[in-house]
C-alpha cells in the first residue's frame, strides 16, 4: 500500500523513509531472514533425542506353525498336583489340528540420543547461523542501494526544476527583448526580420518548456512509484543543490574502508561457509555413536500381547566409505582454494571501484568549478552585448546568441552540480558509509 503523506512538498529524508518502508526487495529480504532463522531452529533440534514410533500388522495366507494334536486320555485333576502321576480317572481327548502365527501386530517406539556424529550437528548449526548473518548483511546492502537510487532520482528531479527555472528566466529575457525589438521595428530602426528571429526563438523555447514540463511530470511519477509515495499532479520536491565540500574532505583510506563494505563481509562469510562445508563432509566419514531406549508391544499368538522395554547403543564406522571420503575431501579442499582465489580477486576489484569512485568525484568537482566560471563569463558576455545592443553596436542575432549561451552554461552548471551530488553519494556508498 502506498504511504499517504499529508504534505505535497517532500524532502529528501521523507522520500528515503518512504522508499525503505515500501520497497519489495527489502520486504522479501526480511522474509529471507525469518526463513533462515527457522532453518537455524530446525538445525538446533538435532541436538535433542530423535523419537520414532512404528507399527506393523500382518496376516499370512497360511499359518506359519501347523500341527495335529493326537487323541489321548488325560488324567483328571483333583486339585492336588502330586496325584497327577498316580491318577486313576482319565478323560478322553479326541485330538484336533492346531495352527499358530497366522496374524498379529507389533508396535515399537524408540528415542535415540546422538553422542558423536563427527561434529556434523555442531557444524550444521554454525552453517545455519551463517545463513542468517548473510541475509542480514544483504539486507543492509539492499537498504543502502535503495537509498542511493532514491537520492539519485531525487536530485535528477531537482536538477530538472533548476533547468526549468533557467528556461523560464531565459523566456522572460526574450519577452523583454521582443518588446524592445517591436518598438524598434515600429520606429523603423530595424527590419522585421530581426523581430521574426526573436519570435522563432520564443516558439522554440516554449516548445522546450513544454517538453521539460512533461519530462518533470514523468520523472515525478516514476519516482513516486519507486518510493511508494502517492502521486498527485501538484506534487513537488523541495531542496537545493549545494556543493559545500570538495572531494578531499570525503576521501578515506580505501584499504581500511574495504572492511566496512557489505560485499567484503559477504566474501568473509562465504569463506566461513566453505570451511564448515568441508567439516560437514569430513564428519560423514567419521564414526558415529548414539544411545537410546525403546518399548515394544507384541501380539502374535492371538493372546492379549506382551510388552518389553530395551536400552541400546550404536556405533557406526563407515569403513568402506573412507576411500570415497578421501576423494571428496580433496574436492572440498579444491573448493576452498577456489573460494580463496575468488575472494582475493573480488577484493582487488572493490579497491579499484573505490579508486574509480573517488576519481569520478574529483572530476565532477572539476566540472562544477569550470561550469561556475562559464556561467560568470556568459553573464558578462550577455551584459556586454546588452550594452552594445542598446548602443546600436550589435544586432539582435548577437543578443540571442548571448542569451542562449547563458542558458546553456546555467544548464551545464546545474548538471555538473547534480552529477557531483550523485558521485558523492556513490563514493560514500562504495566506501561503506
Per-residue pLDDT reduced to its tens digit, 323-377: 888 888 999 999 999 999 999 999 999 999 999 999 999 999 999 999 999 999 9
- Tell me the pLDDT band of 101, cut-offs 50, 70 and 90: low
In this structure, which long-range contacts are made by residues 314-318, counting pairs with CB atoms below 8 Å and at least 24 apart in sequence?
A: 314/112, 314/288, 314/289, 314/290, 315/287, 315/288, 315/289, 316/287, 316/288, 316/289, 317/287, 318/284, 318/285, 318/287
Give pLDDT, residue 188: 80
Per-residue pLDDT, averaged over 371-399, amounts to 92
Which is higher by pLDDT, 105 or 32? Answer: 32
- 3-class secondary-structure state, position 94: coil
Contacts of 296 (CB under 8 A, 6+ apart): 106, 107, 108, 307, 308, 309, 310
pTM over 0.75: yes
Give pLDDT, residue 227: 95
Give pLDDT, residue 301: 65
Which is higher by pLDDT, 395 or 137? Answer: 137
**169-202 b/e (C-beta count within 10 Å ≥ 16 → b):** ebbebbeebbeebeebbeeeebeeebbebbeebe
Cα 349 to Cα 352: distance, rounded to the nearest angstrom: 5
Per-residue pLDDT, averaged over 259-280, amounts to 95
Per-residue pLDDT, averaged over 160-176, amounts to 94
Give pLDDT, residue 243: 77
Per-residue pLDDT, averaged over 47-73, amounts to 78
Give pLDDT, residue 262: 96
Cα 33 to Cα 136: distance, rounded to the nearest angstrom: 7
Cα 150 to Cα 142: distance, rounded to the nearest angstrom: 12
Inform me whether the pLDDT recorded for 5 exceeds 60. Answer: no
Inform me whether the pLDDT recorded for 3 exceeds 80. Answer: no
Inform me whether the pLDDT recorded for 7 exceeds 60. Answer: no
Cα 300 to Cα 177: distance, rounded to the nearest angstrom: 114
Q: Which of 86-95, 217-226, 239-248, 396-405 has the lowest mean pLDDT?
A: 86-95
What domains can be seen in the chain, in order of their start residue? 9-56+104-430 (1.20.1600.10)
Inform me whether the pLDDT recorded for 242 exceeds 90. Answer: no
Give pLDDT, residue 67: 67
Average pLDDT, the chain: 89
Per-residue pLDDT reduced to its tens digit, 307-329: 889 898 989 888 877 788 888 89
- Tell me the pLDDT band of 297, cut-offs 50, 70 and 90: confident
Give pLDDT, residue 95: 65
Give pLDDT, residue 100: 60
Burial category of 330 from C-beta neighbours within 10 Å (exposed 0-12, middle 13-18, buried 19 and up):
exposed
Amino acid at each position: 500500500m502506498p504511504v499517504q503523506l499529508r504534505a505535497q512538498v517532500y524532502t529528501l529524508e521523507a522520500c528515503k523513509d518512504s522508499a525503505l518502508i515500501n520497497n519489495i526487495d527489502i520486504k522479501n529480504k526480511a522474509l529471507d531472514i525469518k526463513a533462515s532463522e527457522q532453518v537455524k531452529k530446525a538445525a538446533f533440534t538435532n541436538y535433542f533425542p530423535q523419537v520414532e514410533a512404528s507399527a506393523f500388522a500382518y496376516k499370512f495366507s497360511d499359518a506359519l506353525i501347523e500341527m495335529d494334536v493326537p487323541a489321548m486320555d488325560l488324567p483328571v485333576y483333583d486339585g492336588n498336583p502330586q496325584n497327577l502321576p498316580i491318577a486313576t480317572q482319565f478323560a478322553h481327548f479326541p485330538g484336533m489340528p492346531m495352527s499358530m502365527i497366522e496374524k498379529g501386530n507389533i508396535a515399537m517406539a524408540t528415542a535415540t540420543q546422538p553422542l558423536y556424529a563427527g561434529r556434523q550437528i555442531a557444524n550444521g548449526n554454525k552453517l545455519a547461523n551463517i545463513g542468517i548473518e548473510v541475509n542480514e548483511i544483504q539486507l543492509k546492502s539492499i537498504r543502502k542501494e535503495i537509498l542511493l537510487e532514491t537520492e539519485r532520482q531525487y536530485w535528477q528531479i531537482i536538477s530538472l526544476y533548476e533547468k526549468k527555472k533557467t528556461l523560464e528566466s531565459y523566456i522572460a529575457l526574450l519577452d523583454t527583448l521582443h518588446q524592445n525589438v517591436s518598438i524598434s521595428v515600429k520606429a523603423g530602426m530595424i527590419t522585421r526580420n530581426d523581430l521574426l528571429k526573436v519570435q522563432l526563438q520564443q516558439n522554440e523555447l516554449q516548445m522546450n518548456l513544454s517538453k521539460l514540463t512533461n519530462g518533470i511530470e514523468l520523472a515525478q511519477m516514476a519516482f513516486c512509484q519507486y518510493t511508494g509515495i502517492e502521486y498527485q499532479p501538484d506534487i513537488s520536491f523541495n531542496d537545493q543543490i549545494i556543493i559545500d565540500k570538495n572531494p578531499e574532505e570525503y576521501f578515506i583510506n580505501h584499504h581500511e574502508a574495504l572492511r566496512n563494505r557489505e560485499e567484503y563481509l559477504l566474501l568473509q562469510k562465504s569463506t566461513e561457509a566453505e570451511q564448515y562445508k568441508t567439516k560437514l563432509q569430513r564428519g560423514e566419514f567419521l564414526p558415529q555413536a548414539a544411545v537410546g531406549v525403546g518399548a515394544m508391544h507384541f501380539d502374535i499368538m492371538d493372546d492379549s500381547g506382551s510388552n518389553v522395554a530395551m536400552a541400546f547403543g550404536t556405533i557406526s564406522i563407515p569403513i568402506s566409505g573412507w576411500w570415497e571420503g578421501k576423494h571428496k575431501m580433496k574436492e572440498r579442499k579444491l573448493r576452498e582454494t577456489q573460494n580463496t582465489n575468488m575472494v582475493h580477486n573480488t577484493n582487488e576489484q572493490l579497491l579499484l571501484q573505490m579508486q574509480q569512485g573517488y576519481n569520478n568525484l574529483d572530476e565532477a568537482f572539476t566540472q562544477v568549478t569550470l561550469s561556475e566560471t562559464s556561467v560568470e563569463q556568459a553573464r558578462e558576455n550577455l551584459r556586454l552585448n546588452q550594452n552594445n545592443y542598446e548602443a546600436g553596436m550589435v544586432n539582435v542575432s548577437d543578443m540571442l546568441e548571448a542569451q542562449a549561451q547563458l542558458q546553456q552554461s546555467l544548464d551545464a552548471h546545474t548538471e555538473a552540480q547534480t552529477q557531483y551530488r550523485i558521485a558523492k553519494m556513490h563514493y560514500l556508498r562504495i566506501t561503506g558509509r
